[in-house]
């Protein structure tokens, strides 16, 4: 029964991304569920429509569901096979070559940046020395300021008399 009708994906289906394929499949499953509910409702009208007609429609619905699941499984297998083949092709020499070139480029960039690293080290050392000198200067200034505040200021009258 399943081999009577081979479902061939259209060119449009071949270009569908996995996410879009999943969305389409979900939409298709919802529509099949709706059709199943409608068929269930038909059973209440079997006196008017007849048992044979409803059984035939039900059988076709079941056949469609089975074929859809077979198609989904086959498509998932094809996608998995394509992914596996692609990974093998990429993982081969191309990926190895790219990795080797990338490693060589990274090493070359590291070597070329050595003068920059040395310059940054020198700047850092200079900043540390400058900060130490600034701290010492601020310490001296604070000491002078506090010692000048400790000495009582002479009154203004004494200052004029001594001149």
Q: What is the pLDDT of residues 13-29, one digit of tens each?
A: 455 566 776 778 888 88
More confident residue, 92 or 63: 63
Exposed (0-12), middle (13-18) or buried (19+): which is 35, by Cβ within 10 Å?
middle
pLDDT computed for residue 154 by the predictor: 60
pLDDT band of 157, cuts 50, 70, 90: low
Assigned token pair, 41:
């409702």
Tell whether the model's pLDDT for residue 114 goes beyond 50: yes
R_g over Cα of the chain: 43
Assigned token pair, 51:
């048992």
Distance in angstroms (rounded) separating the CA atoms of residues 125 and 72: 67
pTM (predicted TM-score):
0.38
The rounded mean pLDDT for the chain is 77
């Amino acid at each position: 029964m399943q081999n009577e009708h081979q479902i061939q994906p259209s060119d449009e289906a071949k270009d569908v991304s996995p996410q879009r394929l999943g969305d389409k499949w979900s939409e298709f499953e919802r529509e099949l569920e709706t059709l199943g509910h409608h068929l269930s409702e038909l059973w209440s009208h079997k006196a008017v429509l007849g048992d044979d007609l409803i059984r035939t429609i039900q059988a076709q619905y079941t056949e469609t569901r089975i074929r859809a699941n077979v198609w989904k499984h086959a498509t998932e297998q094809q996608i998995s096979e394509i992914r596996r083949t692609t990974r093998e092709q990429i993982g081969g020499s191309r990926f190895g070559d790219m990795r080797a070139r990338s490693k060589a480029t990274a090493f070359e960039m590291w070597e070329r940046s050595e003068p920059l690293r040395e310059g940054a080290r020198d700047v850092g050392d200079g900043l540390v020395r400058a900060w130490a000198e600034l701290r010492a200067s601020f310490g001296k200034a604070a000491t002078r300021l506090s010692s000048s505040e400790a000495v009582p200021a002479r009154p203004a009258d004494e200052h004029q008399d001594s001149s």
